[in-house]
Amino acid sequence: MDGTVLVADDDRTIRTVLTQAFTRAGCKVHATSSMETLKRWVREGMGDLVISDVVMPDGNGLEALPEIARARPGLPVIVISAQNTIMTAIRATEAEAFDYLPKPFDLPDLMQRAARALKIRRRRARPSVKDGGDCGARGEGAVPAASGATESPGGAALALATDLPLIGQSPPMQQLYKLIAQVIHTDIAVLIQGASGTGKSLIARAVHDLGPRREAPLVSAGALDLTDPVAARDLMHRARGGTLLIEEPGDLGPGMQAILTRLLDLAEASEVRLIATSRRDLATATESGEFREDLYFRLASLVIAVPQLCDRIEDIPLLARHFLAGHPRGAGLAISARAEELLRRYSWPGNVRQLENVMKRLALTATGPEIRRSDVEAALAGQPEAAQVRRGGEGETLSQSVAGHLRRYFDLHQGSLPPPGLHARILAEVERPLIEIALEATGGNQIRCAELLGINRNTLRKKIALLDIRVTRRRKLM
């Protein structure tokens, strides 16, 4: 890898790690904690690749993208952000960032994406580059005053995005956000696949509401409804110019599939976008001959695979609090650490819908200001597969306990592989309890906790905010 990389992040640890990694890879690196410094370097012609955080002390990395593009057309920018929401992914896509990675990111993955960006950059004509310095981080003086914010792209779509309860900061949800951001401004047919209760209809709503057809109707219909020519014409008429959501086409038999295939010609004539949802893997059903190939390709120009809740365990506390806040009797309730641990360890065969129902029950049955572990145990007692609450064995080493958890995690997929990004998800699962227990051991003293963990205090504060860890100052236990 060769080229000059400009790194902008207010976290010194991240600047140091990226500087060392790119220098070892053969690149020159200039690192800064200032957005204004980054923009000045770009204007001066420095750099073949920019890696920028979103929230900086004196500016916003996403809002700076149009200015960077005007100053240096074709200069690739990789955005990294701890604001891991669908809005961030959409804004990064609409601002034409080369790529977007949520924090915490996987360093080898970032390096691969950077190498691809530099390779594409080399294919284009490059302006003169003023490297002006040796390898390594370049220091700067005082951070300039905050610059004025520019209008963010896709304002109307972003306003709608705030009302969509797509909740999650896990790597599988980040991949989902990125895919939604890439598809919303197209008219291609989308197939959304996932187990029952994962939120397929919600994602279909997001694809419609965030796209250019949002002022037109989203009409939902069961696949069987569309096999009736009269009903199909009525549905196409109502969805004209908008989106037709076809639910569970995989439930149709061969004859009905043939009728639906012919009737979908009406969608093109009516200028209707097609979105389908399915709990079955239609690609596998097509290969086995259970589902018509021509129908599959009509519905699945792009496939969005929705992760199960067991594939994004780190999102469970966030979802649980969201469902409590939406209930009249749950808004003021807290969740104890032991109750939250039990929620995270349950297998959730009914996925997000099951978790929502359990939290509604807890909002009604809680007798105090805090949901306790006993409350969760009572709520889960009548739930399917309650025995799958994962428990560690007596006398196990940490490594043995982790191995047991991982084997059960793989077993939950019943012979299929978990979604990509497993390494980052597992590390994130270990990181949260490690920080929580270290904070408890140091009485909530973040300086001592950072020393105990061997990380920078600012890094610890960011991880506490990112993981939504509650910090309580009290007498030190150690």
Question: How does DSSP classify residue 208?
Answer: H
Q: What is the mean pLDDT of residues 383-390?
A: 55
pLDDT digits (tens, 9 = 90+) for 185-232: 889 999 999 999 999 999 999 899 888 898 999 999 999 888 888 888
Q: What is the mean pLDDT of residues 43-48?
A: 94
**How far out from the chain centre does Cα 215 lie?**
26
**How far out from the chain centre does Cα 191 lie?**
19
Threshold 0.75, pTM exceeds: no
Task: Note the pLDDT of residue 397.
Answer: 61
Show the CA angle centred on residue 392, arms to residues 389 and 397, nearest 5°. Answer: 160
What three-state secondary structure class fits 358? Answer: helix
Task: Note the pLDDT of residue 100.
Answer: 85
pLDDT digits (tens, 9 = 90+) for 101-125: 877 777 888 898 899 999 887 766 4
Domains of the chain are: 4-123 (3.40.50.2300), 162-305 (3.40.50.300), 309-389 (1.10.8.60), 421-478 (1.10.10.60)
Locate 280 and state its tokens: 């079955």
Confidence of residue 68 (pLDDT cuts 50, 70, 90): very high
pLDDT at 146 over 50: no
pLDDT at 333 over 60: yes
Of 255-269, 374-388, 443-457, least confident by mean pLDDT is 374-388
CA distances from 257 to 286, 293, 296 (A): 12, 10, 10
Confidence of residue 2 (pLDDT cuts 50, 70, 90): confident
Contact 85, 54 (CB under 8 A): no
